[in-house]
Structure formats: structure tokens, C-alpha cells
Amino acid sequence: MNYLLGAFKPACNVSIAFADGKSRKQANDFGVPLKKENGQTVMVPLFQSQENIVGKISVEPFQGKKIEHNGVKVELLGQIEMYFDRGNFYDFTSLVRELDVPGEIYERKTYPFEFSTVEMPYETYNGVNVRLSFSELHTVTWEAVQIKGKHQYVLKVTISRGYGGSIVEYQDFMVRNYTPPPSINNSIKMEVGIEDCLHIEFEYNKSKYHLKDVIIGKIYFLLVRIKIKNMDLEIRRRESTGAGANTHVETETLAKFELMDGAPVRGESIPIRLFLSPYELTPTHRNINNKFSVKYYLNLVLVDEEDRRYFKQQEITIYRLQETS
């Protein structure tokens, strides 16, 4: 029995190192570590679209072992996984580099690889019902074992044997893309209310905000004939996945900011100043690969003394601005 168990153990160790691993920024430097499915967080290299992804793959047989193979290759895959459709991945990026011809590996062997100016149009995203990420996946195919993983944006190294399965090793990395400030950024002005009861005017200084921006605005009460006890401003994220009858929508309240505590009077103006940096926001994503969208809303909520709620929701655009060192 011990002999049979030993037959299913990997015959080698596979590892990867990025060429600029020591100098490349880590996701944790920005306070946004990559969360794994098991709840753990890991530090991973950070890339953006059009960068070169360069490194080395090391394959080291365990002592006394040799690996017969039909070739070695590395793949870079970008994938979207819907949580309600587990196990099915939607590829939007797929690149392959052949590293070695069929042969045998007796001792540690290192393979350099390079993917030049890689087009990675979508950011890493890990939401309620969908995950989009880049990572590197190493697959060593050998006798009697196949280990499968669920990582996206992967580099996949395959050492194949005609009568074997696969050993798979994953190397995650994150992708973030930056947007210049919009040339046009109009303010938001609206008047809302209940006929003969409540009439308010609200204004936000702009409609597009970067992740560390500040929302500045004001609420002006034109008519107040109901007893308002408090007013809050919420930031909501709405994630839509799928299409048609299979559409799934999840709404999260990411922030709740109290604007007023007590009854307002006609003519009163309430200032708004809400910093976005403390909250875990992502850029707005619109119809990514026809699979999902992520939108943000400012939700103004008024509560009267009978606990009735009145609200007005307005969409805003969030983008990632290039940080200066």
C-alpha cells in the first residue's frame, strides 16, 4: 500500500521567479492584498497592461528521481470565473511559450521565459459573484497525478508525459490599469422631493472620482413639511453578472456617512465632504468581456420620525489615477 501511495507523489519541485521580483511593487504596498479562496491573503507582484512579464521556471527532481517528458511549455492565461458557475472559466487572454523539447530531467533545470508587452485590458477583480485575476500556473504532467486549480491570469508550465497526468503550480499576480483625469467632469445637480411635503436640491462637485478623491457637495432644503430626524449618504456598489434570465445582481453598501442629525428647516444648507480613500473601492467596470459590470452609486437617505425612509440614488464613475512617488 505504501508503494502505491508513493507512486502518486510528485517527482519534482516547480518554482517561478520574476526577473524584477525584488524591485517590483507588491500589491500590499497599496493596502490591497490578493485574497485567496481559502480566505488567506498573499503578497503578489503588480503589473499593468503592455508590460513585459519576464522570469525563470525551475524544475528540480527529488533525489533519486528523473522526469521523462514530452516537452515543457509556459502559458499565460486571463480568465473570468463566475461563482454561480464554479469550474467554468472564460478565457480572454491566452499566450503560450514552448520551453523545452521532449527529453529527460535528472537535476535542477531552469527555463527563462518572456511575454512581451502583454495586453491585459481588465484589472484584477474579486467580487461577490465574479472573479477576474491574472496569475501564473505551472503544470508538470507526469505519471498518475493531476492537480487542478481555480486561478485566473495564470502562467502555466507543463512538463508532459504521454502516459501521465499533471502536477500544477500556480503563481498569482495582480493587474491594475490607470486612467488619466477625465477632460470633461460635469457636476451633478438634481432637485427631488414629495409634493407639498419635501423639496430638496443636492449637488455633487463632479460625476467622476478617482479612488483617493473627495466627494464635495451640498444639500439645500427648499421645502420641509415633514419631520426629518437624520440624513445619511451611502456609497453603494452594484455587481451584475450573467445575462438575460441568468443575470445576478448584488448590491453592497460600502460606506455610510451621517450628514445631519436633527430636523432641518427651510433654507438650510448641509455641506458634504466624503473622503473615498478609507473604503475598499475598485474602478467602475462596464460590461467586462460581456460577463459582468461593476457600478457605484451615491445614495442619499432621509429618515423621518416615523422611520419612513426617503432616498435618491445617483450613479458615479470611479477610476484609478496613476500614483506619484
Q: What pLDDT, on a 0 to 100 scale, did the predictor assign at position 22?
A: 58
Kindly provide the residue ranges of all beta strands, DSSP E only, lying in 141-268, ordered along the sequence. 154-159, 167-175, 188-194, 198-204, 208-210, 214-224, 228-241, 248-261
Distance CA 253, CA 272 (A): 18
Residue 116 burial (CB count, 10 A)? 10
Give residue 118's Cα distance to chain centre. 18
> Could you tell me whether strands 167-175 and 46-47 are parallel, antiparallel, or unpaired per DSSP bridges?
parallel
Which residue stretches of 53-158 are H helix?
none
> With a cut of 50, which residues of the chain have pLDDT below it?
1-7, 28-32, 138-151
pLDDT at position 262:
82
* Cβ–Cβ < 8 Å for 159, 138: no
Q: Which of 261, 289, 308 is nearest to 81 (CA)?
A: 289
SS3 134: strand
Query: From CA 298, how far away is CA 237, in angstroms rounded?
Result: 9
Contact 170, 286 (CB under 8 A): no
Question: Are the C-beta atoms of residues 157 and 13 closer than 8 Å to each other?
Answer: no
Give ranges for CATH 2.60.40.640 in the chain.
12-175, 188-319
Residue 77 CA to residue 110 CA, distance in Å, equals 21
Class of the CATH-defined domain 188-319: mainly beta
Tell me which of 2.60.40.640, 3.30.420.10, 3.30.420.40, 3.40.190.10 is the CATH number of domain 12-175: 2.60.40.640
Element (H, E) at 5: helix 2-7
Cβ(98)–Cβ(144) below 8 Å: no
**Integer Cα distance of 110 and 26 in angstroms:** 24
Rounded Cα distance between 184 and 195, Å, is: 34
Give the CA distances from residue 255 to residues 20, 38, 275, 295, 297, in Å, rounded to whole numbers and listed in that order: 37, 26, 10, 15, 11
* Residue where the block lists cell 518554482: 15
Distance CA 125, CA 128 (A): 10
Contact between 167 and 12 under an 8 Å Cβ cutoff? The reply is: yes
Predicted confidence at residue 266, as pLDDT, reads 87
